[in-house]
Structure 1
């Protein structure tokens, strides 16, 4: 099974989560101010190979998606009745920017985010946190190619690989039947 995973195209570009969090933590140690952290993270990403940049982007997307609905992390008591703040999905970038320990604590207990002293400021400035992932611009600067186009190609190859594997399984099933 492990050999099969090694052949998986999407895993080709995956970044070890430990490495991802080390980059985030390094930018956090550099400064407590989010714009400076983002600048530092961009510098750290620019020192990666194109393959590692793709891996960073994939890991960022996966962690972002694993957080699920951004409403789980919003304290709507802070807002007008039924009004969802603009760019509320960016709260997931805020959660990632807090580092591994906070990410998993908030993922486990979304209410933990509300008790941070800077919660209200952060929610009012979610657009700043969306700037944490600069992998697309760094990839373009390094390769003169779009990271989105590159990852779309990887995703499409992965789909083709899965279709091929599924077709092989069906062929094998038909051969076994009497």
Structure 2
């Protein structure tokens, strides 16, 4: 019974990836200008339930993390002075390009150079970091910190994993 309750509380905290990319694509179709895309995406996210906002955020974080080390995407530059102040912002740019391009760049980082005017992209990377507005939307909707909620979910998942491991160890010790 306790395990059922924990699974009910935790559920799947990520948004279905197809739904995630659909929202992103809708914002891309809205405008070719990134600030307008980000504003429209914020509007789309505002229509989601708090649980769905958490799911969108968790999916964004996973996709961001799966891109790995940002320096991989700067392999054309030998001069460190050409790196932007926040090198991880390039990962937001890659996500903002949509599902097809995200997976193409993830598989072959050099693909990014064929997609855009790279020098222009490097100068304006800070704009792409604005793609994830889930924290402000969540706060406006719930008056609670999304970070606090996700930290609590992470902690619950750790406790659940520890509990499962302890149960497995106990079963192994039983004669």
User: What is the TM-score with the length of structure 2 in the denominator?
Assistant: 0.92
Contact 2:13–2:55 (Cα < 8 Å) also in 1:
yes
Distance 1:117 1:142 in 2: 36
Partner of 1:97: 96
TM-fit CA distance, 1:7: 2.6
Are 1:54 and 1:151, in contact at CA under 8 Å, matched by a contact in 2?
Answer: yes
CA drift of 1:120 comes to: 1.6
Aligned counterpart, 2:130: 131
1:26-175 aligned within 5 A: 26-77=26-77, 81-83=79-81, 84-175=83-174
CA distance in 1, matches of 2:59, 2:65: 10
**Cα shift at 1:107:** 0.4
SS of the equivalent of 2:128 reads helix
Deviation at 1:123? 1.2
Q: Any conservation in 2 of the 1:8–1:158 contact (CA below 8 Å)? A: no
| Contact 2:84–2:125 under 8 Å retained in 1 | no
Contact 1:67 1:92 in 2 (8 A): yes
Between the aligned partners of 2:10 and 2:66, the Cα distance in structure 1 is 17
Indicate the RMSD between aligned Cα atoms, in angstroms: 1.9
Where structure 2 has 5 or more consecutive residues not aligned to the other structure, the ranges are none
Number of aligned residue pairs = 171
Distance in 2 between the 1:53 and 1:109 partners? 30
Quick one: distance in 1 between partners of 2:10 and 2:117? 37
Residue aligned with 1:25, SS? helix
Q: Structure 2 CA distance, aligned partners of 1:49 and 1:82?
A: 43
Please state whether the residue corresponding to 1:87 is helix, strand or coil: coil
Give me the whole-angstrom Cα distance separating, in 1, the residues matched to 2:116 and 2:63. 24
Secondary structure in 1 aligned to 2:45?
helix
Q: What TM-score comes out, normalization by structure 1 length?
A: 0.90
Q: Structure 1: 5+ residue runs without aligned partners?
A: none
Q: Distance in 1 between matches of 2:47 and 2:160?
A: 31
Aligned equivalents of 2:8 and 2:57: distance in 1?
A: 17
Pairwise mapping of residues 11-22 of structure 1 onto structure 2 (< 5 A)?
A: 11-22=11-22
